[in-house]
Structure 1
């Protein structure tokens, strides 16, 4: 072949994939995708249905993108196939994904028809999965959490989640053995939580809440109290960020009840307590906050693997920064600064470090120290611009009103204007 497949590459980019994330979606190496796009090799026949689904095209249209058929009007050879309005394309992809969520949620809620369980146990084709295939899907779903953790722009992972949910939805349309169906419900709850995290990071709280609700429903169907508790805790985070502390407390009480019924070797109940501590801090209850922090610290006495690295990742390594956040909210600046300084000595993700630095900037506000505010807030601005994270932008947006008493300082005025530009650009 030898000719570059520009249309194929443009379509990949229009669907939100990098070469690396597209490779993960279609289960090949990124170097293979690069060779496809350079025209050195063509995708094998058995891979094409998955490639077409990931790109949102038919097999015929995929052939056109690969330069193997006359280009129809929809994909002229000399015209890029990306939609002319990228914002509109983003909305269309979002609506399509939400429709997929609704379909998957409905399939999870529908019990098998009479007789299906017996038939499913005997079916070996036509959509029924065996244990090995179900495990393969589960391993890939767990891999997506690692991809999410490494991605600087979390939205790049969403197309992979969509592809995996489509696989699960196809499987749920068919009769499955009870153990396989339970595993599918567990995987759906896992993926819905990951989708919620991606939307949460992008400041799309309504979409995130929808995902967490579906994750809770799927967890219930799977009979997994720890998974269910984590879905409710993530949902509570939305209320926490919106400063609806009473609403958050209600969700967290339910999460704590579920966690008490789960695996005592896991850190679920300790994570719930850590988030409860932030809620009590928001309510101004120092004693309840301290008790919750002490409960959260109990994770350090657990033995063995205390989390799965996916929907549950709490191991106590964040306790210092969580204490600092709570003490800032409670106005205990002496305790807060000590805890936050301790947090900075550890290994932090980019987003977590931004949270610590924002809290330190807030301490500077309380102390009327413009230099401290500038030092820490400017570092957070850099992170927000580099990552496009809605979570980091939200932290700066919450900091901004507190800058008012310091606006006589020209550097604070400049900082205020830069935060305003960032927030308005993110909202657009």
Structure 2
């Protein structure tokens, strides 16, 4: 059964004709006909209400709206990668333009007018936060992260309209927080596509929007993501002041949230990068305190996802960078034994392959690198490619082994998104 046919059957099962369904959504009946025929797709701001009418969750609705795909590639995105060729460069420029527009609207001072808000602003204030949580969930669960890009780009357009319509200070603050949330997701998409400068710009705008919205936790998370871009570029000295500021901001936030513990976890990586084992351990111990919080309410699954479940792999990566394979192996093995997303599993496998290279153990290198390459082929993720590039730098002493030279060539041949 096609997904759009299932969409129509759910509508009928809930007792709505196409005309009644259209009336409940304030759209033309012909629009519902196009949706069910697969000739059009609901806009992001319409989807929470559609999910409510159909009696399904937002992620389930997203699945119903996805284009049909052959079974063997159903786990991969039907959308082209974010940055491949001129057409995608144009899409990227459009997104950057929307960032500029929404950023300007967030920064404009409150007019003090009490006029009624516009229709788009009202819809955003009613359902925008739920939609953004849904987009984060799709992003988190998708092997290929770019699958969420079209919906995010469309939602940026909606945010620009909503911000332009908003008059009261309270509404502006809420929409500023939603904008900061969305900016961080756009930054994650750019980061996964190896567009690090674009990602950093998104996180800077997110920090400014969060400040305008009066949310310290959201602000600290944007600063931390910006710092992570610098860490990933092996610029720990540039990351450290960002993280220090983020930690100070987080301490002014909600102490029931995990924000300050996430900042500490990223600080541990910065300390590892400069070779400070003691400071790294202190930061990791601070991060571990997240387990003392109420796990059900310490994060929101969107812009704040830190729950401590990644600490084993992060500890292993830190020890590996510090040149302490004796400490790294147990942590990485413990991480690999846990349920992991495709991208996280590839990162742990890459680190275990690096550990094998450190020991000159070709069998270990090949065993783990082959698995990581398989995951890279499935996801087309720039993040995994970058992790494997780090392994390539350790392979030179082992290149006399044909298996290692083959690995080197395969890593070099991975598709690059930038």
- TM-score scaled by structure 2? 0.80
CA contact (8 A) 1:277 1:292 kept: yes
Output the CA distance in 1 between the equivalents of 2:162 and 2:346: 40
- Cα offset, 1:36, TM superposition: 2.0
| Equivalent residue number for residue 382 of structure 1 | 374
| Equivalent residue number for residue 341 of structure 2 | 349
| Equivalent residue number for residue 197 of structure 1 | 188
Equivalent residue runs for 1:13-412 within 5 Å: 35-37=36-38, 87-113=85-111, 115-116=112-113, 119-120=114-115, 123=116, 126-127=118-119, 129-130=121-122, 133-303=124-294, 304-412=296-404
Output the CA distance in 1 between the equivalents of 2:237 and 2:256: 29
- Cα offset, 1:129, TM superposition: 3.8
- Cα offset, 1:338, TM superposition: 0.4
| Equivalent residue number for residue 79 of structure 1 | none
What is the CA deviation profile of residues 301-325 of structure 1, one whole-angstrom value per residue up to 9, with x for unaligned ones? 1125110000001111111111100
CA contact (8 A) 2:382 2:416 kept: yes
Q: 1:340 to 1:379 in 2, by over 3 A?
A: same
Q: 1:89 to 1:108 in 2, by over 3 A?
A: same
Output the CA distance in 1 between the equivalents of 2:373 and 2:212: 42
- Cα offset, 1:331, TM superposition: 1.1
CA contact (8 A) 1:278 1:326 kept: yes
SS at match of 2:395: helix
CA contact (8 A) 1:145 1:310 kept: yes
RMSD (CA atoms): 2.4
Q: 1:415 aligns with which of 396, 403, 407?
A: 407
| Rg larger for | 1
What is the CA deviation profile of residues 327-385 of structure 1, one whole-angstrom value per residue up to 9, with x for unaligned ones? 10011111100011111111111111111111100110010001100000111111111
- Cα offset, 1:34, TM superposition: 7.3
CA contact (8 A) 2:45 2:158 kept: no
Which range is displaced more, 263-272 or 301-310? 301-310
Q: 1:155 to 1:298 in 2, by over 3 A?
A: same
CA contact (8 A) 2:44 2:131 kept: no
CA contact (8 A) 2:207 2:223 kept: yes
- Cα offset, 1:138, TM superposition: 1.5
Larger RCO: Structure 1 or Structure 2 (Cα < 8 Å, ≥ 6 residues apart)?
2
What is the CA deviation profile of residues 389-428 of structure 1, one whole-angstrom value per residue up to 9, with x for unaligned ones? 0000000111101100000111001001111111xx3156
What is the CA deviation profile of residues 66-123 of structure 1, one whole-angstrom value per residue up to 9, with x for unaligned ones? xxxxxxxxxxxxxxxx9xx97211111111111111000001001123x42xx23xx2
CA contact (8 A) 2:275 2:322 kept: yes
- Cα offset, 1:200, TM superposition: 0.5
Unaligned runs of at least 5 residues, structure 2: 1-26, 47-79
What is the CA deviation profile of residues 196-229 of structure 1, one whole-angstrom value per residue up to 9, with x for unaligned ones? 0011111111111111111011001001110000
How many residues were matched structurally?
A: 352
- Cα offset, 1:135, TM superposition: 2.8
SS at match of 2:323: coil
Unaligned runs of at least 5 residues, structure 1: 1-25, 52-81
Q: 1:369 to 1:233 in 2, by over 3 A?
A: same
Output the CA distance in 2 between the equivalents of 1:187 and 1:269: 21
CA contact (8 A) 2:141 2:341 kept: no
CA contact (8 A) 2:219 2:249 kept: yes
